[in-house]
Amino acid sequence: MARWMIGQYGFFDEEKYRRDFRPDFHGIEACLLAGEEDVERLIMEKEQRGIHVGVHFPLRAGMSDMRDALFLAADLHVREEAYALVRRELEYMQRLAPDYVLFHYPKPVILDERVNWGIWSFSDEREYIREGEMSLTDFKERSEFLFNWLSRQSEQYHFIPVLEFDAVNRYVYASDWVRELLDHYPRIRICLDISRIYLQARVDPNFDAISFIRNYASYAEVVHLANVRIQESQEYRHHPALPQLSPEEGWAPVEEYLRMIFKVNPAVRVLYEHRSDRITDDELEICYTWIQEIWERVMTEDR
């Protein structure tokens, strides 16, 4: 069975928890919690209800002026600060003991200079560099260091390191090298973000979403599930995945992507990373039912 999750971002939202969480759901992914009381609330739910907790790094807000750790930055000092920050957060999270901790990768994002990235959303120019600014050799060396370091931290702190693909360039999608790293460091898993994969497929003619999912689905610990509509720009980011949202009208092909993932990875964690406040209670139930039915159909077909 796939393991269904909801997100708690910014603070522990009691109303979202009551409305979105279901008795058979697996857990919560938390990110950028504003106060200690939010962390304590999360710990209480884990201890009292036995829910599973994942962390989208960082758990706490205000630890850095950027959300994502720049593990691959050209500046050695920036890289060292990123690793030190992560280490401090891992120390802090020992009482919470999350199942997994998720980091964006690669960061900074390496942008293919053949592509117009105008509709991609970046909050800070430090989040990305051009492909010409990082050689394949540097990418490999820094990635190898990151995988080795995260693997050692996972042994010490007892969590699954999860790397969520951000925008990717040919270093990732046109080579087997990252998959070889994942094979060499099996503690490390990945996250596939449905909306982000679709967005890249729309803006980058060199990127094949179907091939990419086939290559990485078996390594996925988490799927981030939401829909988005792409016309001249991104519309309705983090929109709930509903069956009536047609790819012919610019929406992501959610069912096609999920079927491929469920086929090889039926126990993957699926985080509903959506704005459920945009829809009614009935529509939210339709969303949940539809995704569950996709999973069930894939399981039935494989028998």
Q: What is the mean pLDDT of residues 146-153?
A: 98
Count how many Cα atoms sit within 13 Å of the Cα of residue 158 in the half-sphere of its side chain. Answer: 7
DSSP-assigned letter for residue 243? T
Closest C-alpha to 127, from 78, 182, 196, 89? 78
What mean pLDDT value characterizes the chain?
96
Q: What is the mean pLDDT of residues 135-164?
A: 98
pLDDT band (50, 70, 90) for residue 302: low
How far apart are alpha carbons 74 and 133 in whole angstroms?
A: 9
Q: What is the pLDDT of residues 36-56, one digit of tens each?
A: 999 999 999 999 999 999 999
Closest C-alpha to 251, from 261, 268, 237? 237
Closest C-alpha to 262, from 226, 214, 228, 227? 214
pTM of the model: 0.96
How far apart are alpha carbons 104 and 228 in whole angstroms?
A: 19
DSSP-assigned letter for residue 251? B
Burial class (CB in 10 A: 0-12, 13-18, 19+), 273: buried
The pLDDT value recorded for residue 63 is 86
Residue written as token pair 């053949």: 114
pLDDT band (50, 70, 90) for residue 70: very high
The pLDDT value recorded for residue 219 is 98
Q: What is the mean pLDDT of residues 68-84?
A: 96
Q: What is the pLDDT of residues 180-193, one digit of tens each?
A: 999 999 999 999 99
pLDDT band (50, 70, 90) for residue 11: very high
- Give 62 or 171, the one with higher predicted confidence: 171
The pLDDT value recorded for residue 4 is 98
Domains parsed from the chain with CATH numbers: 3-301 (3.20.20.150)
Q: What is the pLDDT of residues 205-242, one digit of tens each?
A: 999 999 999 999 999 999 999 999 998 777 888 999 99
How many percent of the chain have pLDDT more than 70?
Answer: 99
